[in-house]
């Protein structure tokens, strides 16, 4: 399972801010990237604490990608199936038949970093308006 942020409303707000310099996009990208790193790191920590000896490589498979989407930015955060044990993404929700409990690393990490993300986006707007 991966975590995605939907910036549709934020993109509309950015479009409405015609007087704000163009580099707002790069400031928003920085805020998204910092938040993505923080969420990834927290997902690794939660996964490390709950993966057990059979999934030792799972926490290291956590990664993130930043993509431009129209006028916005999107971050996808979660286990990378191309990395060792990244295909074990099912551990996030657990598998009842196998007796694995859900980790909820993505939910916990996203919630823990929500306030920081909002602060980062607000700072991006303030910094862009100050130039």
Of 34, 84, 94, give the one whose Cα is nearest residue 59.
Answer: 84
pLDDT tens, residue by residue, 35-47 = 999 999 999 998 8
Average pLDDT, the chain: 80
The torsion of the CA quartet 14, 18, 24, 29, rounded to 10 degrees, works out to: 30
CA distance linking residue 123 with residue 131, whole number of Å:
13
Structural domain harbouring 94 = 3-130
State pTM to two decimals.
0.75
Q: Which residues pair with 65 in a beta bridge?
A: 76
pLDDT tens, residue by residue, 36-83 = 999 999 999 988 887 777 778 888 888 999 998 877 889 999 888 888
The secondary structure of 14-60 as a DSSP string is HHH-TTS-TTHHHHHHHHHHHHHHHHHHHHHHHHHHHS-GGGTTTGG
Number of domains in the chain: 1
């Amino acid at each position: 399972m991966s975590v995605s942020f939907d910036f549709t409303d934020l993109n509309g707000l950015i479009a409405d801010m015609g007087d704000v310099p163009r580099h707002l996009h790069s400031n928003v990208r920085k805020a998204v990237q910092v938040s993505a790193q923080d969420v990834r790191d927290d997902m690794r920590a939660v996964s490390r604490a709950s993966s057990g000896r059979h999934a030792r490589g799972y926490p290291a498979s956590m990664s993130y990608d930043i993509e431009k989407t129209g006028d916005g930015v999107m971050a996808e955060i979660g286990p990378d199936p191309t990395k060792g044990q990244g295909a074990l993404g099912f551990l996030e929700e657990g598998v009842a038949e196998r007796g694995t409990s859900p980790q909820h690393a993505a939910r916990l990490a996203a919630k823990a970093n929500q306030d920081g993300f909002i602060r980062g986006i607000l700072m991006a707007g303030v910094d862009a308006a100050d130039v």
